[in-house]
Every structure is written in structure tokens, then in C-alpha cells.
Structure 1
Amino acid sequence: MGPCCVFWLPGALSLGLAQVPQHAPPSPSSVRITPGEAQIDDTLDVAGDSIAAEQIDTRMAIGVTVDGHGPYRFVVDSGADRSVIGARLARDLALPAGEPVMLHGMAGSSRRETARIARLGIGGGVVEDVAAPTIPEAALGARGLVGIDALHGHRLMLDFETNTVTVEDARRPMPARADDIVVTARRRGGQLILTQARAGSLGIRAVVDTGSQLTIGNLALRDALFRRGRLPPETTSTTLVSVTGETRVVPLAIVPEMRIGTIMMYNVVVGFADLPPFALFGLADTPAMMLGTDLMGSFRRISLDFGAKKVRFQLRRCPPAPAPGAGCPPAPAPR
């Protein structure tokens, strides 16, 4: 497979992703933007509290407080239905035990003990009375996870250039701007489901999952793409490791073309498996995809507005003459 072509489509923002050699595990895709007169939103800001974030692999981690203690490093996981706390941290803070709950990870589900958090502080906001499953920190790669139970009613901005996360009360309206790349979503189970998404000509549902480093499609999506002849043969596989300890081998394939709103993406590496989150969000039988941070890190910023049910994307900008190694391609040669 050769390098992919990058070009502008009329009325759409065009991104090109690197292809993957057939016999090597794919690395996270990188977005390359063709120089041109793209209308990029320079004012996409959420006027809340900016929290310095640390990059863990391709995930974003922020500092949160637990019952007034901390801050502690928690990964922001918009694909998780529950916030999670490290087992050692829960013991150190002597948090009271709660009722066991079912925790749904990317590779499996399991019943877990919980700790009761009276006040979980995120930026300038506080979420009260959180029953957080306890997981060993070694499995989390952090002291905990911030799930959508703590993001409900908030607007979340992920800035991948400055490694900051901004949190704001979603009840405060955010003015629309003509140059925003805005994708309307639906709420289901507290999650934002993107409906303006396509894989080739196939309409799909998509979820922004900031806790997963790999973009995953369900088997309904895989089968539909195969029937349409829009999915090349699987070339390799990878192993998913859930925070709950389960592992699962998933095949990888390249989806030639994807579209989210007006954003075009080509040659996207996707793993395919029927994982628990698809059923949790009512997407088991509908062609759907969990968009991982392998794709999200290719943007400058992503805003998840759980109140207005909108996701805003801002592309990385390339200068007219990018420096070598800047991740920006040269202008395409005339055909």
C-alpha cells in the first residue's frame, strides 16, 4: 500500500491519514491538512476552568480532587459510563464502601466493589455522591478515570496542543460561530451519539471515546462494509486490555473513507469487535464506531457539550511552508 492522497473536497474539510503496512501493527493515525484557505475556528473556547493535563499515551489526564484531597491524576474517559477510582487511593483516603456494580470495559464487563466519593472536584465544578468502582492503579495508568457520570451537565474541551482540559457548566449557552465545525449529537444513556457520520456511503453512529487509544467499530459496521465491498481484508490484529483486567484480540482493517460532519478522513485504521460499550449505549445492532484518541489527537481541540448535545472539532493548522518534521505535507502536485 502506498501513501494516501490528501486533497480538498468542495464544501468539506479534508484530512488524510497514513496507511499501515500489511504486515506491521498500525501506529496511531496522524491527520495531515492540505494547505489552503480553510476556514478554521480560532475562537473555539470554553470559558471555564482550564486544567493542566498530562498526556498518557494518547489519552488525556487531569487533576481532580476527592473529598477535598488532591489533586490526583485521573484520565478523562468519555466512553465510560462510570467514573473509577484507584483501589490504593480509595484505601488511603478511607473512603466508605458502596454497593458492588457492573463495570463495562472495552474488553469485557465484571462486577466491582465501589467507594463512595462525597465530592469529586473537576476544575471549578463538583460532582456529589459518586459511587466509583475501585480498580488497581496499575491497570488504570492513573489514580482514576472521569466518566460521563461526572461529565453530565458539563461542557468539556480537550486541547491537544496545550494539553489542557477545560470544564464549564453546560447550562451557560455557548454562542455558535460560522467557522465552527459543529456536529449535532443525540443523548443516549448519558452518552453523546454522533449521527452525522458515514463510512463510505454507509450512515453510522459514532461515539467520542477519550479513554480508548484505538478506534473500534462493531461487527454490524464490519459486515455492512464487507457487503458493500468497502472494507479491504484484515491485515493484522491487536490486543485490547481493559481496565477490568480482561484482554481481547481484535482484527484490524483500514476503512478507506470516513466522514464526520464536513470532516473527511481517509485510510482509517479500525479494530472490529462487539464490545460491551456498544450494547450499553444501544448500538449493538447498528453500524457504529467508538472514536479513539488515535484519531482525536490529530485535532487541535475537541469540545463535548453534554448540555447542547453538540461536538465541536477544530483542525490542526499547517503553515504555508511547514518545517520538516512538522507533520504537515507539501502541497499536492498538479495532476
Structure 2
Amino acid sequence: MRGFISLLALGIGALAAPSLPAQQISPASLPAPAATPVPDTLRLGERTDRMTVPVSIGPHGPFPFIVDTGAERSIMSRELAGYLKLAPGGDARLFDFTGPAEVSTVKIPSLSAGSLGTPAMEAPQLLMANIGAAGVLGIDALQGQKVVLDFERRRMTLKPARRHASGDIVMPAQPGTGQLIVTQASYEGKPIAVVIDTGSWLSVGNGAMLRLLKRAPKSYGRAVMTSVTGRSFSADFVVVGPIRIGTARFDNFGMVFADVPPFARFGLADRPALILGMSSLKLFGRVELDFANREVAFTLPRAQIDFHEVCRSAAAVCNNFGMR
């Protein structure tokens, strides 16, 4: 019997990820190995409103992978693993927003994106329809790197972290976890911990954070979230505030509340905490994630954000977002 490894994958969308059939990966769509390295600055694509970057598997690719700063391990789609004829690995117990699941893994010769490169690894293989892309680039590949998400220019920079993060708001991340967790944040004037998760579209607060409310929030409808393993859960989409992250204040903040398993895995089950998803991160003009120096930096947007459009794409159930 093969042993189990324990890992975490947080990626969720506001709705089930669209089906991406295996025939999208074909010999015609498989680029020849590049003669020169892929540049450090990569154009951001979109799959289920999450970011994708081109990732090469050994000499093959690149393929669109979601960047998930909440996932402990990188993930490969079964379709891509089958097309590349990757060898099977051991079994793994994967934790996502719905709890543990036993999954199979494949052996990957290497992952590369820009200057980022990894040695050979074993990665869980999951259905492309549930992942929302050909794979997921997790924090096992991002350690030692600085990830700069420039939403205004729609580009992402991956490079070794040699200097500290810079921006309008710079905060240290809590030590002891692979994820970046910042504590210079508050809700209803009380401190909260914030997990930076680019793999999740909606932001999710735990029950301890919900109990800080002075009154029950108004529900704008149910949001159904599907995890990378294809399992779903639903929760009321609400608008709350004020939430402060550093010096930024969100007066009307769209999110859901649910005591999902990752909070316990982060040691935050009984502590007010928020998993900050892409619908909230994209309110900033730029976000810098420094895994080497354990820092997070936010740059406020130069232009006015269309908060109504943000709400429509987040859950299609609310309006009147605001940040100041």
C-alpha cells in the first residue's frame, strides 16, 4: 500500500469552473521548446476569474496554470498528465475548502515559468474541469520568489526575492506557515488574520469573524463554490464593513462566511480570520507577495474602480462596493 502525503489546495470559484475538454491539449497546441527562456514578466490570462500564467512541464508547453498562493502543492490536470504520459506517483490526502480527499499523483520532471523553476516533484492530478485550467502553481513552486500582481497592466512578474516588498501598504506575514498571513487588519474595529489566496475568487470569513458583527448581515443570495476536487458548498453572499487591511478601508466588502476546513489547518479556527480572494485583491492596483522575506505589499489603484462590475463578476447578487 502506498503512503499518503498531506497537502492543501484552496482554489475555489464563485461558480463551478467551466468544462475545459481534454482535446484542447493536442499536438497542434503543444508549442516547441523555446530557444530562449520565457521572460520574467508574464501576461495574465483569465480562467474563472482567476489568474493564469504560462507554465512549462519539462520541455513541453507552456500551458495555462492558475497561480494559487493558498495551495501548499502544485497540481496537474489529469488530461495534461495523460497527454504528456507522466508516470504515476503515490497517493495523497488533499485538503480543500470541503475537507480531505484521497487523490492520486503524477511525477513531474520540472515546472518552469519565467525565472521560476522547480526540481522533479509529485503533484496531485485532478480533473481540468474542476481546476479551471491545465494546472495549479502552488507555494511549493513559489517559495523564495517574489510574485508581483499588476492588475492595472494585467501582468505578473515572477523573480527571486532579493529586495523587500514595496507599495503604499507593506506588512509582514506571520511566520510558521507556507501561506502569507497578515495580521495588520481589523473588522468592526477588532483584529483579524488575513490569508492571501489568489486561487479563490470569493473572500471567505470564518465563524469567529462573523461573531464580531453587531448585527446579522443582509444576504444577497446563495453563492455556490466548487473546489478543485469538484466538491461544492454554498453560503450566503453578504456585504459587510468596515474592513481595514493596513491603512486601506473597505466600507462595503463582498464575501461569504463559512467555517471551512482550511481555517483549522492554518490554526485560525477560533480566531477571527478572512481568506482574501481575488474579487478583493483586484480592488488594489498592485499586490506584491514576497515569499522569501515574508512580506505583502498593496498599492492603491490610480484609477477609479467600477465596483458595480466587481460585484457582478463576484457573485452577480450585489451592488454598491466601495473602498477608500
Task: Provide the TM-score with structure 2 as the length reference.
Answer: 0.78
Q: SS of the counterpart of 2:80? A: helix
Post-superposition CA distance 1:220-246 (Å, at most 9, x none): 1112x23xx155344432111111011
Mark the runs of 5 or more structure 1 residues left unpaired by the alignment: 1-24, 26-47, 328-335
Q: Which amino acid aligns with 2:181?
A: I
How far 1:56 moved relative to its partner?
2.1
1:199-210 equivalence runs, <5 A = 199-210=187-198
2:90 aligned counterpart, secondary structure: strand
- Percent of counterpart pairs with the same letter? 38
* Ranges of 4+ aligned residues in structure 1 off by more than 3 Å: none
Equivalent pair of 2:72/2:140 in contact (CA under 8 Å):
yes
Shift of 1:169: 1.0
Secondary structure at the counterpart of residue 153 of structure 2: coil
Match of 1:259 among 222, 233, 244: 244
Equivalent residue in structure 2 for 1:141, among 105, 110, 132: 132
Deviations 1:96-148 (A, max 9, x none): 21111111222333111011112110211211122210011111111001111
Q: 2:285 aligned with 1:300, yes or no?
A: yes
Residue of structure 2 aligned with 1:173, choices 137, 141, 163: 163
Is residue 197 from structure 1 mapped to residue 182 from structure 2 by the alignment? no
Mapped contact 1:60–1:163 kept (Cα < 8 A): no
Give 1:4's aligned residue. Answer: none
Task: Output the amino acid matched with 1:125.
Answer: L
- Structure 1 segment 62-141 matched on structure 2, within 5 A: 62-141=53-132
**1:300-334: per-residue Cα shift (whole Å, max 9, x none)?**
11010011111111111138xx99x999xxxxxxx
Find the aligned partners of 1:230 and 1:260 in 2 and give their Cα distance: 22
Which residue of structure 2 lines up, in the alignment, with residue 314 of structure 1? 299
Q: Displacement of 1:276 after TM fit?
A: 2.1
Gaps of 5+ in 2: 1-13, 15-38, 311-324
| Cα offset, 1:203, TM superposition | 0.4
Task: State the superposition RMSD in angstroms.
Answer: 2.3
Structure 2 SS opposite 1:207: strand
Give the conservation status (yes or no) of the 8 Å contact 1:231–1:256. no
Aligned counterparts of 1:124 and 1:318: Cα–Cα separation in 2: 31
* Counterpart-to-counterpart distance in 1, 2:138 and 2:144: 12
After TM superposition, give the deviation of residue 158 of structure 1 in Å. 0.9
In structure 2, what is the Cα distance between the partners aligned to 1:147 and 1:53?
Answer: 16
Q: Is the 8 A contact 2:55 2:112 kept in 1?
A: yes
TM-score (norm 1): 0.76
Once the two structures are overlaid, the 10-residue window that deviates more, 234-243 or 211-220, is 234-243
The AA in structure 1 aligned to 2:269 is A
Structure number, greater radius of gyration: 1
**Count of aligned pairs between the two proteins:** 272
- Amino acid in the other structure paired with 1:188: G
CA–CA separation in structure 1 for the residues paired with 2:246 and 2:155: 25
